[in-house]
Amino acid sequence: MNRRQFLMSVAMGATAISALSGVRPANAATPSKRLSVTKRTLDVNGRSASVFGLTDPSGKPGLVADAGSTIDLQLANETTDSTLIHWHGLTPPWKMDGVPDNPAALLKPGETRAYSLPAGEGGTQWMHAHTLQEQNLLAAPLIVRTAEDRAADEQEVVIMLHDFSFKSPEELLEGLKKGGMAPGMGMDHSKMMGSMPGMQAMHQMLSGGSGMDMPMSGMNMGMDVNDIEYDAYLSNDRTLNDPEVVTVEKGGRVRLRIINGATATGFTIDTGPITGDLIAVDGRPVVAISGNRFPISMGQRLDIRLQLPAGRGAYPVLALREGAAERTGIILATTGAEIGKISASGLEAGPILDLSLEQRLRAASQLQKKEPDRKYSAMLGGDMASYTWGIQTDRPIVARKGERVRLDLMNMSMMAHPVHLHGHHFQVIAINGARMSGAVRDTVLMPPMAALTIDFDADNPGHWPLHCHHLYHMASGMMTFVTYEDLT
Ligand SMILES: [Cu+2]
């Protein structure tokens, strides 16, 4: 049996989310696809939970598409709630972006809507409700494969991470607003905020200037890490008490496509003794970086290539919860390998997410060198005590098609915020004042007191959200917009 036949037989076993439908010729006509929003019951640590599903007609979650194609899609709402889906990582026309009433209305119960989504260059993307329903697992992978991916002699393994609570998102949000998570707050953050000289400090930091010697970007004292204690952390809907086991080939090559679909939890991916190559972030290729641990914030994706050892074996791929001992993950295992039990709680807390990996990332394909036509500053602020969050810009962010836009982002709060721009990919061009040709991506983590500069090409007219991908920060006001002047 050659490797491709092996992969096919694995797919028949239906252990992985990945369907390996990439064997279809790339030039075949793309039939119209159908995705249904459903309700389903999930067993979480022996307790049943009612959650959303987002599946194709065969019941498989999410979508697989070919790079460069147009995804003709019927999105059907088979639930009794109104809903809408955002295509995170795709850059569709604004009317199809999927943020309720921006501009498209929610999909009513029983309603079906047609979409025509450009699949783009290829990469690990995803889709999710841009509402509190995201907490109830209304999310799924959206994998766009290139011809090279389809021909590659490697097994694709998709891992979708979630944080799960038996409480409703409305209850969780209310709890946060009441200050239910007061423990862990080391200082009065509002006072902290007030003591910062705002925009002025920000400009100093961005220019690498004096006054503030970046003492805070690595400072964990007084920083707020997690604001929700969840009941479980899931990988492909399962906990480590009953993890997904993906059959792999001895000595085989695996491409992990990891999506952090959690609403309020950062993770560090831990590949254990196997060193992996990080080859893409947010679906965009980067110059490969090898390692065993890679941070992933909410909304972000990591593609990691693993070369498995020749012998029989079981290889856990874990996601360590940031700043806490909980973990989740899947197990890659060769046929006949002994699979040990892995506790859902580790011996030590997962790393605090910082910019050490981001600083090393280099885009495999750069944004064209160009001076910005417009520059804006945006300051992220807020605090746990009042649980209000926001993005303040120096003036409304306006763009015209064809322009290069630069955003100087500064986090003036004591929590990290993954910042996501809709409808575009941006390049990270400076971190804490140091210029670089960083990753091209759609979601970047802003640790407390960090300053980042991003550039993007305004090539997709719309009124595009720029927001924190922490669901409860967004729901508490941490969102602004990039608006095109020539919007019709
Ligand atoms: Cu945030």
pLDDT tens-place string over residues 362-403: 999 999 999 999 999 999 999 888 899 999 999 999 999 999
Which pLDDT does position 129 carry in this prediction? 98
pLDDT higher than 80, residue 325 = yes
pLDDT of residue 224: 84
Question: Is the residue at 349 inside a domain?
Answer: no
Please tell me the distance between residue 265's alpha carbon and the centre of ligand 1 in angstroms: 11
Residue 385 shares a structural domain with residue 450: yes
Query: 77 and 117 share a domain?
Result: yes
Residue 54 covered by a domain: yes
CA–centroid distance, residue 488 to ligand 1 (Å): 31
For residues 446 and 416, the answer to whether their CB atoms sit within 8 Å is yes
Q: How many H-runs (helices) and E-runs (strands) does the chain carry?
A: 7, 31
The CATH number of the domain holding residue 476 is 2.60.40.420
The residue among 256, 307, 225, 283 whose CA lies nearest residue 16 is 256
- The pLDDT assigned to 222 comes to 64
Q: Answer yes or no: do 117 and 239 share one domain.
A: yes
Specify whether 61 is located in the same domain as 163: yes
The alpha carbon of 101 and the centre of ligand 1 are apart by a number of angstroms equal to 22
**476 pLDDT exceeds 90?**
yes
My answer on whether 129 and 201 are in the same domain is: no
Within a domain: 181: no
Q: How far is the CA of 467 from the centre of ligand 1 (A)?
A: 8
- The answer to the question of residue 354 being in a domain is no
Strands, E assignment, 5-44: 33-44
Residue 447 Cα to ligand 1 midpoint, Å, equals 10
> Would residue 222 count as lying in a domain?
no
Between CA 370 and CA 455 the distance in angstroms is 10
Q: Is the pLDDT of residue 434 over 50?
A: yes
**Does some domain include residue 177?**
no
Q: Separation of 470 CA from ligand 1 center, angstroms?
A: 5
**Same domain as 448, residue 375:** yes
Q: Given a cut of 80, is residue 320 above it in pLDDT?
A: yes
Q: What was the pLDDT predicted at 32?
A: 84
Q: Is the domain of 296 the same as that of 148?
A: yes
191 shares a domain with 109? no
- Tell me how far apart the 2 most distant CA atoms of the chain are, in Å: 67
Reported pTM: 0.88
| Segment 83-105 mean pLDDT | 97
Asked if 145 and 265 sit in the same domain, the reply is yes
- Looking at this protein, which amino acid is placed at residue 88? H
How confident is the model over 452-480, as a mean pLDDT? 97
Q: What is the pLDDT of residue 95?
A: 96
State the distance from the centre of ligand 1 to the C-alpha of 262, rounded, in angstroms.
13
pLDDT score for 487: 80
Is the same domain home to 307 and 428?
Answer: no
When the pLDDT of each residue in the chain is averaged and rounded to a whole number, the result is 89
Query: Cα(338) to centroid of ligand 1, in Å?
Result: 41
Query: Quick one: 89 and 160 in the same domain?
Result: yes
| Residues of the domain holding 16 | 3-167+231-334
Q: What is the total count of domains within the chain?
A: 2
- For residue 333, give both structure tokens: 């295992």
pLDDT digits (tens, 9 = 90+) for 328-351: 999 999 999 999 999 999 999 999
User: How do residues 236-259 score in pLDDT, each as one tens digit?
Assistant: 999 999 999 999 999 999 999 999
With 50 as the cut, is the pLDDT of residue 444 above it? yes
> What is the per-residue pLDDT for 29?
52
Cα 471 to middle of ligand 1, angstroms: 8
289 — pLDDT class (breaks 50, 70, 90)? very high
Given a cut of 80, whether residue 443 has pLDDT beyond it is yes
pLDDT, average across residues 37-57: 97
Across the range 158-185, mean pLDDT stands at 84
